[in-house]
A and B are shown apart, each in its own frame.
Chain A
Amino acid sequence: MKPKFFKTLLAASAVLIASTGMAEQRTLTINTDTSDPAPKAAFEQLIADFEAANPDVKVDWNLFDHEGYKTSIRNFLTAEAPDLANWYAGNRMAPFVEADLFEDVSDVWAENNLSEQLGSALPSMTINGKQWGVPYTYYQWGVYYRKDIFAEKGIEVPKTWDEFLAACAKLKEDGVTPITIGSKYLWTAGGWFDYLNLRVNGYDYHMKLTSGEASYADPEVGKVFDAWDQLTTNDYFLENHAAFSWQEALAPMVQGKAAMYLMGNFAVAPLKEAGLTDETLGFFPFPEITPGLPAAEDAPTDTIHIPANAKNKEDAKKFLAFLATAEQQSKINAELGQLPVNKNSTVPEDPFLAQGFELLSNAKGLAQFYDRDAPAEMAKAGMEGFQEYMVKPERREAIIKRLAKIEKKVFKK
């Protein structure tokens, strides 16, 4: 009974305050799943700053755990919607946009000139020509490698596919696993497909494929697997990778038994905790495969949206505009150790982030990652197929055939 009593009391006092004509405080409810230490601190700071800038708004912040949030968001968007909620760009937000659960925030973009300031994320925030949220952070993907092992074996950082293959061959010959990967949870294999497709066929084709306009039965996809074959059939990947999570696959790299890892920048923190330093750990962009093809990158973007059923949309839009500013994005990402989306913000001082910022600023396009660009059902089947291929390369044709079949179902071709 206590909470109810408390609520009544609150309501009564609210009435009292309103009737006595005291300064009215509006509330703004935010739901996020940023429960890890760094994201939590970043949001604490962001909300405190917003409240300081808008003294008439009180922010009510509900923190969810990471996994539970994926289910909860479906419930709270339909039932008791907050005024703001965090989510992801690209196809991940499409179901909510199509179900009319996210508010169109194109006006926030137009009024604050965000198309220019957040230009790199504009395509991934746009569905049906409108913008549906504001991105606040992303990070680069690429190859993390052991600088000391490369130096010891006299290997240069590979820029082309041939150099990359030569590096792999040399490492393998000397008893070092060239590439570590843990594909137990599938998505790491999706990263390989993303990069091979982006480098073999380019950004436009990759986006067509993940959105269902192109087919897995195309010869283009065959070429991706041709390149992949050069790695799998030579056993360049870590043995038994299907048994490991991505964290478990860090171990061989730390021990010097493996030399490279295609990963997102979040891998740097655990690698450094395990003992690697800026002297032993390096980063290079995924090498060029089709010569002359402009490079596009994977850069999963985190975003904030206004639910269509929000009560206080006016202040929610203020909050989005506030979140989009260069100043706030610099602050948030200094805390997160990731890259700000606003191009006028300052990048945290870190060699990996500096490289990442340069990489993403010059990218032809930014993909969100396979499981965010492709619709859920296709993503699951695709990543499973990629994992199976990496374990059993000889099943390549059967897997491609299966993906083509599932794609027909998913996209209702």
Chain B
Amino acid sequence: MNQASTMPPKSGINPVTPPKKSMLRNQRKMAPWFFLAPGILMFLVFVISPIFQSLWISFYEWDGLGEKTWLGLANYLELFDDENFFISLKNNIIWLVLYMLAPPIGLAIALMLNQTVFGIRLYKSLFFFPFVISQVVVGLVFAWFYDPSYGLLNVVITSFGFEPIAVLADERFVTYGIIVAGLWPQVAYCMILYLTGLNNVAADQIEAARLDNAKGWKMLWYIIIPQLRPATFIAVVVTVIGALRSFDLVSIMTSGGPYGSSRVLSYYMYETALSEYGYRMGYGAAIAVVLFAIMMLFITGFIWKMIRDERG
């Protein structure tokens, strides 16, 4: 018991037997794990295990009630013969590409709002407003906006003497129509990210650039944007993920219609597995696995970049 003597006695504290040194060391090591444990447990139960379960179910034919039948890869083979799957995949790509407009537009608005004028706080909150309201509300508002007989869009179009366009009932426009609705809150989100980023732009560098006669685009491109890199990174990540999990707007605005032409993978998965006419759990799981693989592609890319940046 001479370990006690190695501990410097703390003033004002009774010299009660202090914990053993090995336990203390363990405590230091264990503490983070104790704090992480609930999170890890939740993550395992609600994220990791469902991933493997989906993978498992995707090899079966199962209606959610009766016996499962082993199919092997048949569900995946069926995907390649399913035009609905390719429509959904194509729409997902359109979503991804067009959603990439959100960061630059968000940046533009952020630059515009990043000034001290009377009432700027009000403008900022108004621009941020679409991100605060629920996607369901956004979807409904845009569905009414596009309404072919009473919608604002068509009131404007017809006042110029053109034929009204039923955006959400026309296979040519429907996906774009929904994406525009989705961009509205997404741009607001990117704008907020950039606004906070702009607060941290080093004033001395701008000063120095000014002395070197940098103005306008050159200033933006060579001085401001490089300093906004962390904000850009986050904006791109949330936008990619936002585009891939686009579900609520499709569901609210068109339910995938007309005749399935605005489906995306997440909605098609929901339809086959969980909707009123679905309950093909295996097939739905196969779609989910494909969507997961696409997401993983991006996520590993992002993580790889993050690790590389951290190492310098």
Distance between Cα atoms of A391 and B168 in the complex (Å): 13
Residues A363-380 near B (CB distance < 8 A) = 371, 376-377, 379-380
Q: Is A95 an interface residue (CB 8 A)?
A: yes
Closest chain B CB from A220 CB (angstroms): 23
Give the residues in chain B near A74, CB-CB below 8 Å.
Answer: 64-65, 279
Question: Interface digits, B253-287 against A, CB 8 Å rule (1 contact, 0 not)?
Answer: 01101111000000000010010111110000000
Distance between Cα atoms of A96 and B66 in the complex (Å): 9
- Most chain A CB inside 10 Å of its own CB: which residue of B66, B83, B169, B254: B169
Given A95-B63, A99-B65, A101-B65: A387 touches B277 (CB 8 Å cut-off): no
Query: B65 contacts A384, CB within 8 Å?
Result: no
- Most chain B CB inside 10 Å of its own CB: which residue of A78, A96, A185, A384: A384
Query: A185 contacts B255, CB within 8 Å?
Result: yes
Residues A70-90 near B (CB distance < 8 A) = 70-71, 74, 77-78
Distance between Cα atoms of A384 and B255 in the complex (Å): 11
A contacts with B: majority SS? helix
Query: B168 contacts A243, CB within 8 Å?
Result: yes
Distance between Cα atoms of A153 and B68 in the complex (Å): 60
Give the residues in chain B near A95, CB-CB below 8 Å.
Answer: 63, 65, 279
Q: Is A58 an interface residue (CB 8 A)?
A: no
Closest chain B CB from A403 CB (angstroms): 12
Given A95-B63, A387-B259: A240 touches B148 (CB 8 Å cut-off): yes
Give the residues in chain A near B79, CB-CB below 8 Å.
Answer: none
Q: Is B166 an interface residue (CB 8 A)?
A: yes
Given A243-B147, A385-B259: A377 touches B277 (CB 8 Å cut-off): yes
- Most chain A CB inside 10 Å of its own CB: which residue of B78, B166, B254: B166
Question: Interface digits, B134-156 against A, CB 8 Å rule (1 contact, 0 not)?
Answer: 00000000000011110000000
Query: A70 contacts B66, CB within 8 Å?
Result: no
Residues A131-186 near B (CB distance < 8 A) = 183-186
Give the residues in chain B near A239, CB-CB below 8 Å.
Answer: 148, 166
Query: A71 contacts B148, CB within 8 Å?
Result: no
Query: A242 contacts B274, CB within 8 Å?
Result: no
Interface residues on B, range: 20 to 34
Give the residues in chain B near A101, CB-CB below 8 Å.
Answer: 65
Question: Interface digits, A379-397 against B, CB 8 Å rule (1 contact, 0 not)?
Answer: 1100011011001000000
Query: B277 contacts A243, CB within 8 Å?
Result: no
Q: Is A111 an interface residue (CB 8 A)?
A: no
Give the residues in chain B near A70, CB-CB below 8 Å.
Answer: 276
Give the residues in chain A near B147, CB-CB below 8 Å.
Answer: 243
Query: A240 contacts B260, CB within 8 Å?
Result: no
Closest chain A CB from B77 CB (angstroms): 12
Residues B166-180 near A (CB distance < 8 A) = 166, 168-169, 171
Give the residues in chain A near B83, CB-CB below 8 Å.
Answer: 402
Count of chain A residues near B, Cβ 8 A: 32
Give the residues in chain B near A183, CB-CB below 8 Å.
Answer: 258
Q: Is A24 an interface residue (CB 8 A)?
A: no
Q: Is A98 an interface residue (CB 8 A)?
A: yes
Give the residues in chain A near B259, CB-CB below 8 Å.
Answer: 242, 384-385, 387-388, 391
Question: Interface digits, A226-248 against B, CB 8 Å rule (1 contact, 0 not)?
Answer: 00000000000001111100000
Residues A47-94 near B (CB distance < 8 A) = 70-71, 74, 77-78
Query: B65 contacts A78, CB within 8 Å?
Result: yes
Which among B146, B254, B258, B278 is the interface contact of A391 at CB below 8 angstroms?
B258
Closest chain A CB from B143 CB (angstroms): 9
Given A242-B169, A243-B147: A380 touches B277 (CB 8 Å cut-off): yes
Residues B266-312 near A (CB distance < 8 A) = 271, 274, 276-280
Closest chain A CB from B188 CB (angstroms): 27
Which among A71, A251, A371, A384 is the interface contact of B260 at CB below 8 angstroms?
A384
Give the residues in chain B near A402, CB-CB below 8 Å.
Answer: 83
Given A384-B259, A387-B257: A243 touches B278 (CB 8 Å cut-off): no
Closest chain B CB from A106 CB (angstroms): 22
Query: A243 contacts B64, CB within 8 Å?
Result: no
Given A384-B259, A388-B259, A391-B259: A379 touches B65 (CB 8 Å cut-off): no
Query: B280 contacts A377, CB within 8 Å?
Result: yes
Give the residues in chain B near A379, CB-CB below 8 Å.
Answer: 277
Query: B279 contacts A376, CB within 8 Å?
Result: yes
Which residue of chain A lies nearest to B276 when distances are taken between CB atoms in the complex?
Answer: A70
- Most chain A CB inside 10 Å of its own CB: which residue of B65, B148, B259: B259
Distance between Cα atoms of A243 and B149 in the complex (Å): 10
Distance between Cα atoms of A77 and B171 in the complex (Å): 40
Give the residues in chain A near B148, CB-CB below 8 Å.
Answer: 239-240, 243
Query: A98 contacts B66, CB within 8 Å?
Result: yes
Distance between Cα atoms of A371 and B168 in the complex (Å): 24
Distance between Cα atoms of A77 and B64 in the complex (Å): 12
Given A242-B258, A385-B259: A371 touches B277 (CB 8 Å cut-off): yes
Query: B65 contacts A184, CB within 8 Å?
Result: no
Given A78-B65, A388-B258: A240 touches B277 (CB 8 Å cut-off): no
Which among A96, A98, A186 is the interface contact of B257 at CB below 8 angstroms?
A186
Query: A240 contacts B166, CB within 8 Å?
Result: yes
Given A95-B65, A240-B166, A240-B169: A376 touches B257 (CB 8 Å cut-off): no
Distance between Cα atoms of A95 and B78 in the complex (Å): 23
Query: B258 contacts A376, CB within 8 Å?
Result: no
Give the residues in chain B near A409, CB-CB below 8 Å.
Answer: 78
Distance between Cα atoms of A242 and B280 in the complex (Å): 26
Which among A96, A185, A243, A376 is the interface contact of B169 at CB below 8 angstroms?
A243
Extra inter-chain contacts (18) besides given A77-B65, A96-B65, CB under 8 Å: A70-B276, A74-B279, A95-B63, A98-B66, A101-B65, A183-B258, A239-B148, A242-B259, A243-B148, A243-B169, A376-B277, A376-B278, A377-B277, A377-B280, A380-B277, A380-B278, A384-B259, A388-B258
Shortest 8 CB-CB contacts between residues of A and residues of B: A243-B169, A388-B259, A380-B277, A242-B169, A240-B166, A242-B258, A376-B277, A240-B148
26 chain-A/chain-B pairs, Cβ below 8 angstroms: A74-B64, A95-B65, A95-B279, A98-B66, A101-B65, A184-B254, A184-B257, A239-B148, A242-B169, A242-B258, A243-B146, A243-B147, A243-B148, A243-B166, A251-B149, A376-B276, A376-B277, A376-B278, A376-B279, A380-B271, A380-B278, A384-B260, A387-B257, A388-B259, A391-B258, A391-B259
Tell me the B residues contacting A by CB distance below 8 Å.
Answer: 63-66, 78, 83, 146-149, 164, 166, 168-169, 171, 254-255, 257-260, 271, 274, 276-280
